[in-house]
């Protein structure tokens, strides 16, 4: 007997199947853009292998008749400790693009973080999200007037946090993407207007030194300036060291995202899960700490939370789900992920997110399974 796929069903039953379907739907250059990392992709692999090394400690007979995934992120209620990571150019993946993702996230009660480089505009995505929580991700712009306009538009359209990505003074050296032939340049339309630019592609030799774009000259004053320019809480994305985590707190960030940009920026940077506990300690409760990079399954979510993250972000799987089935595909993936978290919590004997403490995860020296 074959399992017929109901009409409108994106047609995946597991994560592996989802990735396979997405690979088959997208042209090779776009697939290389989505999947690729920087250089030899050591960091990309490390994100996943850090989760593969982690083990969890099931507890039994602890009364798991009801399980609650709800949390508050930046003082707003969320159905689960999850957010959709900002990813650029989603119309290249499916016509539903960011609007479809925002609608799916809203249905599932999950925050969506919208990229500066979205294919749909800030306002169109906000209308699609309706009452759903949305945060705006800013790539600092060389033209401050353009940056200012983006902030004003995000505020006016009901975005409730500003996520500033700070790990991209220049784009990483992305071998797989380059071989695939997808170039992040002016030829890819940006929904927020033609004056909005992606991070700089490369340094230019200027006499005996190399010159980067003016926005690469940013210092921590950037966070101070943004704080003056917006009333939205500031989340700093792309932090990997305790030193920088403390800078975020000193400059008034309300949250940090421990992120290596999905292994796309600096090859050799550590896996986010490995550095998380030290960054949580460095922040010392003065800001919320989130993590992204390699989160795929319910148990990954649990392990990151048990090591101190307040929420985790999902990058590539959202794009796979978008490719596989547009908005319904993303909805299905998010629902599946939440169910996996619930099943894992039941098997761990934990009823609420607050109960996901350090005792959930095994010793790091345990052999991989």
Ligand X SMILES: Cc1cc2nc3c(=O)[nH]c(=O)nc-3n(C[C@H](O)[C@H](O)[C@H](O)COP(=O)(O)O)c2cc1C
User: For residue 232, what are its two tokens?
Assistant: 């939205």
Identify whether 120 is a catalytic site residue: no
Q: Is 213 in the site for ligand X (CB under 6 A)?
A: no
What does the alpha-carbon distance between residue 84 and residue 68 come to, in Å, rounded to a whole number? 20
Which pair of tokens denotes residue 42? 């050591």
**Mask of contacts with ligand X, 150-169, x by CB under 6 A?**
---------------x----
Whether 199 contacts 88, CB under 8 Å: no
User: Among 204-212, 219-227, 313-321, 328-336, which window interacts with ligand X (CB under 6 A)?
Assistant: 313-321
Query: Tokens 């932090």 — which residue?
Result: 239
Q: Which stretch binds ligand X (CB under 6 A): 11-19, 259-267, 297-305, 335-343?
A: 259-267
Closest CA to 294 of 322, 319, 316: 316
Catalytic residue (choose from 120, 251, 261, 286): 261
Which residues, in sequence order, are CB contacts of 266 under 8 Å at separation 6+? 38, 43, 167, 172, 260
CA distance 301 to 316: 15
The residue with its CB nearest to ligand X is 315
Q: Does 115 bind ligand X (CB under 6 A)?
A: yes
Is 122 in a helix, a strand, or coil?
Answer: helix
The C-alpha atoms of residue 121 and residue 124 are separated, in whole angstroms, by 5
**251 contacts ligand X (rule: CB under 6 A):** no
Measured CA to CA, the distance from residue 254 to residue 162 in angstroms comes to 10
Q: Rounded distance, CA 196 to CA 194, Å?
A: 5
Q: Tell me if 90 contacts ligand X by CB under 6 A.
A: no
Shortest Å, Cβ 8 to ligand X: 26
CA diameter of the chain: 70
Residue 141 interacts with ligand X (CB under 6 A): yes or no: no
192 touches ligand X (CB under 6 A):
no
Q: Considering the rule CB under 6 A, would residue 314 count as an interface residue with ligand X?
A: yes
- What distance lies between CA 181 and its chain's CA centroid? 24
Q: Does 259 bind ligand X (CB under 6 A)?
A: yes
Residue 234 interacting with ligand X (CB under 6 A): no
Stretch that binds ligand X, among 6-14, 239-247, 309-317, 354-362 (CB under 6 A): 309-317
- Closest to ligand X by CB, 316 vs 350, is 316
Task: Closer to ligand X by CB, 86 or 325: give it.
Answer: 86
How many residues interact with ligand X (rule CB under 6 A)?
A: 24
Q: Which residues are catalytic?
A: 261
Q: Which residues bind to ligand X, rule: CB under 6 A?
A: 33-34, 47, 85-88, 115, 117, 137, 165, 237, 259, 261-262, 264, 292-295, 314-316, 319
């Amino acid at each position: 007997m074959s399992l017929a796929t109901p009409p409108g069903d994106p047609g995946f039953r597991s994560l592996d199947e989802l990735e396979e379907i997405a690979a088959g739907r997208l042209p090779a250059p776009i697939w290389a853009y989505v999947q690729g990392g920087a250089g030899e992709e050591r960091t990309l692999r490390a994100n996943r292998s850090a989760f593969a090394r982690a083990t969890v400690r099931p507890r039994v007979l602890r009364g798991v008749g009801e399980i609650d995934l709800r949390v508050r992120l930046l003082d707003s209620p969320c159905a689960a400790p999850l957010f959709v990571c900002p990813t650029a150019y989603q119309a290249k993946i499916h016509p539903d693009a960011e609007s479809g993702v925002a609608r799916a996230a809203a249905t599932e009660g999950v925050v969506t973080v919208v990229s500066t480089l979205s294919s749909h505009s800030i306002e169109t995505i906000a209308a699609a999200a309706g009452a759903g929580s949305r945060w705006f991700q800013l790539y600092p712009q060389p033209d401050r007037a353009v940056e200012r306009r983006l902030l004003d538009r995000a505020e006016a359209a009901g975005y409730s946090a500003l996520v500033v990505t700070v790990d991209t003074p220049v784009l990483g050296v992305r071998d797989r993407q380059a071989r695939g032939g997808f170039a992040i340049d002016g030829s890819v339309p940006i929904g927020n207007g033609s004056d909005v630019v992606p991070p700089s592609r490369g340094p230019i030799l200027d006499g005996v030194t190399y010159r980067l774009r003016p926005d690469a000259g940013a210092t921590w004053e950037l966070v101070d300036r943004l704080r003056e320019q917006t009333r939205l809480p500031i989340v700093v994305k792309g932090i990997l060291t305790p030193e920088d985590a403390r800078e975020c707190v000193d400059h008034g960030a309300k949250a940090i995202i421990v992120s290596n940009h999905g292994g796309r920026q600096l090859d050799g940077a550590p896996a986010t899960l490995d550095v998380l506990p030290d960054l949580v300690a460095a922040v010392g409760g003065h800001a919320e700490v989130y993590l992204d990079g390699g989160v795929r399954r319910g148990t990954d979510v649990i392990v990151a939370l048990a090591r101190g993250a307040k929420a985790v972000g999902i990058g590539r799987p959202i794009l796979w789900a978008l490719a596989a089935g547009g908005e319904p595909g993303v909805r299905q993936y998010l629902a599946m992920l939440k169910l996996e978290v619930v099943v894992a919590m039941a098997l761990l004997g934990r009823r609420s997110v607050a109960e996901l403490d350090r005792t959930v995860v095994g010793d790091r020296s345990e052999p991989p399974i």
